[in-house]
Chains A and B, each alone.
Chain A
């Protein structure tokens, strides 16, 4: 059984247009005017158990709408959704026992209580028996290093500590799938890193399927094996992350530092993006020249102190994908 199965899923929001002024209000009452927004447009995909998948796209692309339909909060307009073999709309309660959620801006923790109290409450909500719950809390406390935090009221915790508790809370009932909607939004780099690591551990140690939405490509790069790019309600791309970079950006970045000042005459296919007297950042078009060749050339210059070869940043990958797709459709 697939973890998630989505077929021709669509969601159309129908909202009443409300204009300013008393006259307009009256008019709207008698003859309401509706505006239709197609948030999700005929998307299909399948997720296997144990996968880590990211839904990425710009704001308003339909990410949150999709995740809400997967968790049963929102009813689809058309299409099929099946999560763990269950219909999120009709079997929401049954499904909710088996999924965990972390919604970026909303908290499951009680603000004035210490996390341990929230854990106990959530245990009761998810019908976890006491023994199992205690064992689970102990495990998660160790895993997430929550030791001293458990007894401190949530409002007194730092943002990073709170998020850790938040993710732990979502795992108390050992869900098969963890849904995360923009979990790292608004967080600084350090906290983002720790959350990403936690998510990876969950997947590694428990085989928990991870479905996350984000418009931070760093999330994708660090955590996910597979990415679905969505824009304006449509799936643009559905591929393993490795292939994304490979297929869509034939570039590598080489950063080099020399021991003494150098003047570089770059060969064809190599662009000098930044340089000082003793360092340089080169962009290599791998269709034209090989990494091997470029590195040999650099070493031949003499006095190489440091050299790194990197993939281009994810933003560039995505941006270029959009460009290419747009170019194709035109």
Chain B
């Protein structure tokens, strides 16, 4: 238990220190936040128009529903990039050998390396979700409750997907493109109603790329809370994260045996 406490203490410290350093780059932060607001805003614009011109639901969702999944996606993305920003750099760390620096330290290698950096602009993404929720779900306690739970779970799941994609580098060499694509795909599938897709895609969203667990199921629960589904959400998410964790360490063993395609001298 002491080591768990120490890990949390480390994460907290990383958080504090990273935040302080990121403050130096305030200027570009504002610009990136602006860009993000613009980008997200244009989608809100689209959905607003769509629901104006159409009577009824789209893919089983109304405007508020779509805003909910947008908010969750944005804030979950923010959470994972605030806490675990290095997830995008895993391939670079492996290929350059910087991974060794983390291996030699006495803390859990994966967590240590994930938390070592933060992305300042991710605060903008985090905030955006909250702002969107305020405007569209005002004082809906049920929705807010699920929102908060969803962004934590979503953040962890996004991290897990990114880590798993980058773990492929241990096996196939430079997988940074795969990592980037995995994130793009995931986000793109998170921001549209579940109902627009047919069977096969929905299976994918419940397994390989866990979009449903990030946005769609939390929305279902926000509308209609059901303890069974809630338990399933938590359980499957935990399982997914564990698998990603194990997969990384499996790949790491390969690294430590020195049997990579990449020459390490």
Task: Tell whether any CB of A sits under 8 Å from a CB of B in the complex.
Answer: yes
Say which one of A99-107, A219-227, A316-324 lies at the interface with B: A99-107
Q: In the bound complex, do residue B105 and residue A120 qualify as a contact, i.e. CB atoms below 8 Å apart?
A: no
Q: In the bound complex, do residue A103 and residue B100 qualify as a contact, i.e. CB atoms below 8 Å apart?
A: yes
Q: In the bound complex, do residue A103 and residue B101 qualify as a contact, i.e. CB atoms below 8 Å apart?
A: yes
Is A64 an interface residue when CB atoms closer than 8 A count as contact?
A: yes
Is A248 an interface residue when CB atoms closer than 8 A count as contact?
A: no
Give min CB distance, A185 to chain B, whole Å: 13
A18 to B17, CA, bound (A): 43
Give the size of the chain A interface in residues (CB under 8 angstroms): 40
List of B residues within 8 angstroms of A97 by Cβ: 106
Question: What is the chain B residue whose CB lies nearest that of A63?
Answer: B265
Q: In the bound complex, do residue B100 and residue A68 qualify as a contact, i.e. CB atoms below 8 Å apart?
A: yes
Q: In the bound complex, do residue A125 and residue B260 qualify as a contact, i.e. CB atoms below 8 Å apart?
A: no
List of B residues within 8 angstroms of A113 by Cβ: 17, 20-21
Say which one of B7-15, B149-157, B180-188 lies at the interface with A: B7-15
Please provide the chain A residues from 127 to 156 with a CB less than 8 Å away from any CB of chain B in the complex: 127, 153
Is B258 an interface residue when CB atoms closer than 8 A count as contact?
A: yes
Q: In the bound complex, do residue B97 and residue A124 qualify as a contact, i.e. CB atoms below 8 Å apart?
A: no
Task: Name the interface size band of chain B.
Answer: 20 to 34
List of A residues within 8 angstroms of B261 by Cβ: 15-16, 18
Is B112 an interface residue when CB atoms closer than 8 A count as contact?
A: yes
List of B residues within 8 angstroms of A105 by Cβ: 97
Please provide the chain B residues from 64 to 123 with a CB less than 8 Å away from any CB of chain A in the complex: 96-98, 100-101, 103-107, 112, 116
Q: Is the interface of B mostly helix, strand, loop or mixed?
A: helix
Give min CB distance, A116 to chain B, whole Å: 10
List of B residues within 8 angstroms of A117 by Cβ: 17, 20-21
Is B6 an interface residue when CB atoms closer than 8 A count as contact?
A: yes
Please provide the chain A residues from 81 to 121 with a CB less than 8 Å away from any CB of chain B in the complex: 89, 92-94, 96-97, 99, 101, 103, 105-108, 110, 112-113, 117, 120-121
Is A325 an interface residue when CB atoms closer than 8 A count as contact?
A: no
Q: In the bound complex, do residue A112 and residue B101 qualify as a contact, i.e. CB atoms below 8 Å apart?
A: no
List of A residues within 8 angstroms of B103 by Cβ: 72-73, 92
Q: In the bound complex, do residue B21 and residue A74 qualify as a contact, i.e. CB atoms below 8 Å apart?
A: no
Give min CB distance, B51 to chain A, whole Å: 44
Give min CB distance, B108 to chain A, whole Å: 9
List of B residues within 8 angstroms of A75 by Cβ: 256-258
Q: In the bound complex, do residue B17 and residue A125 qualify as a contact, i.e. CB atoms below 8 Å apart?
A: no
Q: In the bound complex, do residue B263 and residue A125 qualify as a contact, i.e. CB atoms below 8 Å apart?
A: no
| Known interface pairs A73-B100, A103-B100, A121-B13; A13-B258 also in contact (CB < 8 Å) | yes
List of A residues within 8 angstroms of B116 by Cβ: 110
A92 to B17, CA, bound (A): 27
Q: In the bound complex, do residue B105 and residue A96 qualify as a contact, i.e. CB atoms below 8 Å apart?
A: yes
List of A residues within 8 angstroms of B24 by Cβ: 112, 153
Given A124-B13, A125-B112, A127-B6, 18 extra CB contacts under 8 A: A14-B259, A15-B259, A15-B261, A15-B263, A18-B261, A59-B265, A60-B265, A73-B103, A74-B256, A74-B258, A99-B104, A101-B104, A107-B101, A110-B17, A113-B21, A124-B10, A125-B106, A153-B21
A-B contact pairs, 7 of them (CB 8 A): A14-B259, A73-B100, A105-B97, A113-B17, A121-B13, A121-B14, A124-B9
